[in-house]
Amino acid sequence: MTQIVTFGCRLNAYESEAIRARANEAGLKDAIIFNTCAVTGEAVRQSRQAIRKARRENPHSKIIVTGCAAQTEPGSYAQMGEVDLVLGNIEKLDAKSYFINERVRVNDIMSIRETASQMVDSFEGRARAFLQVQNGCDHRCTFCIIPYARGNSRSVGTGEVIAEARRLAEAGFPEIVLTGVDLTSYGHDLPGTPSLGALIRKILKLVPELKRLRLSSIDSIEADEELLRAIAEEERLMPHFHLSAQSGDDMILKRMKRRHARKDTIAFCDTVRRLRPDVAFGADLIAGFPTETDAMFGNSHALIDDAGLTYLHVFPFSPRKGTPAARMPQVAKPVVKERAARLRAKGEQALASRMNAMAGSAQTLLVEKAGPDFNTGRTNCFAQARFTGAAQPGAMVRVRVTGATSSQLIAEPLQ
């Protein structure tokens, strides 16, 4: 049997399902495929560690490494004695790649102009399905290695997206998460340049059986009128947006080559909160970006309250070889670590106060796990809730929130 080990983002999780389908088509047996991530040095280190462990435990299996770290540093994986084959991010989606006579096949990702739907229809053990609508990125933020791993921005045709959304809804998934690298740049490369907002409305119109549509991560400065209108008018578009904010300090945002200022993040959250008062925001924040002073860090820390952020993904700055930020004056590692810990602590406080504020409310949950003692599910705004009673993963359940822990709602089914 072929095992897939996935690192990183939802796009990788989606592609791992496509890899599973391609590997099965190719008739691959007794193999372990690592779909790696290159966002941080830590992600790369973890993938190497996992590869060594897999080889020790499976001396005869074929070990294949792919994903963003394989795309950006194929040679360093090819040098590992544990590895049999290294494939690039495009090659991993081609069944023929799994039986080539070379040890490395990684092509120039910048030469890729198109991206197609992978027609994935199974997500093992998941109540929600991911749907890739876009890949790559045209921006060049100074800390980011992703464009070198995934190439320039390209969108899946609207017709293909709707066909796949319909298939996933028919396969019984009540919720679909649209995913990509730079989701808000959707459609720029397609005839008629359909926007992300237009795509959302079309999916919800042409797939009426779909109960929930969620977005993976957006760049708020690229949110246009059409997206805001979809947010305001489409009830089945979930009121939960994860922002690629990165910092709360304007000088640092400039040095990151981001296209937004601190006030833009706050303004976007205020606007959307007026349109959907039950909205919750998540955000990516980097701690310890080169040249960040205590005062600049303070602006990031304060952004959590000023924008009303709830779900934080905190990244201690990790210099990625070949990026401009890796050549900038670095903040001392212990300081980076300490700042990341302070952001996480602030994030936990924000989550706890959100959980408490939801006590007493009625919510609809998408059940994720059903257990002998209790079940868990997610609200529209992505809060996790724990409740008792009969339930099946993928079912929608109405509950009353009776209490909360610092990270979870406690609820009981409404009769």
Per CB under 6 A, residues contacting ligand SF4 are: 137, 139-141, 144, 146-147, 181-182, 244
Nearer to ligand SF4, 226 or 284 (CB): 284
**Tokens at 110, concatenated:** 């910048």
Distance CA 44, CA 149 (A): 13
Taking a C-beta distance cutoff of 8 angstroms, is the pair 291, 250 a contact?
A: no
Conformation bin of residue 242: beta by default, left when phi > 0, alpha when psi is -120 to 50: beta
Strand order in 240-246's β-sheet?
Answer: 240-246, 280-287, 309-316
Question: Could you tell me the smallest distance in angstroms from the CB atom of residue 82 to ligand SF4?
Answer: 30
* Length of the chain measured in residues: 415
Nearer to ligand SF4, 35 or 363 (CB): 35
Nearer to ligand SF4, 168 or 314 (CB): 314
Nearer to ligand SF4, 146 or 223 (CB): 146
Question: Could you tell me the smallest distance in angstroms from the CB atom of residue 339 to ligand SF4?
Answer: 19
Nearer to ligand SF4, 90 or 141 (CB): 141
Nearer to ligand SF4, 97 or 132 (CB): 132
Nearer to ligand SF4, 105 or 139 (CB): 139
Question: Could you tell me the smallest distance in angstroms from the CB atom of residue 268 to ligand SF4?
Answer: 16
Question: Could you tell me the smallest distance in angstroms from the CB atom of residue 209 to ligand SF4?
Answer: 33
Question: Could you tell me the smallest distance in angstroms from the CB atom of residue 178 to ligand SF4?
Answer: 16
Name the nearest CA neighbour of 208 among 178, 240, 235, 246.
235
- With residue 301 as reference, give the H or E element that holds it: helix 294-307
Q: Write the CB contacts of 140 (distance below 8 Å, at least 6 apart in sequence).
A: 147, 257
Distance CA 353, CA 308 (A): 11
Q: Write the CB contacts of 362 (distance below 8 Å, at least 6 apart in sequence).
A: 398, 399, 400, 401, 414
Which residue's entry shows tokens 């992703």?
146
Question: Could you tell me the smallest distance in angstroms from the CB atom of residue 136 to ligand SF4?
Answer: 8
Question: Could you tell me the smallest distance in angstroms from the CB atom of residue 41 to ligand SF4?
Answer: 16
Nearer to ligand SF4, 146 or 401 (CB): 146
Nearer to ligand SF4, 92 or 139 (CB): 139
Question: Could you tell me the smallest distance in angstroms from the CB atom of residue 327 to ligand SF4?
Answer: 16
Q: At 217, phi and psi to the nearest 5?
A: -150, 140
**Bridge partners of residue 386, in order along the sequence:** 376, 410
State the burial class of residue 12 (Cβ atoms within 10 Å of its Cβ: 0-12, 13-18, 19+).
buried
Question: Could you tell me the smallest distance in angstroms from the CB atom of residue 377 to ligand SF4?
Answer: 30
Amino acid letter for position 251: M
**Tokens at 333, concatenated:** 């590692």
Q: At 147, phi and psi to the nearest 5?
A: -55, -30
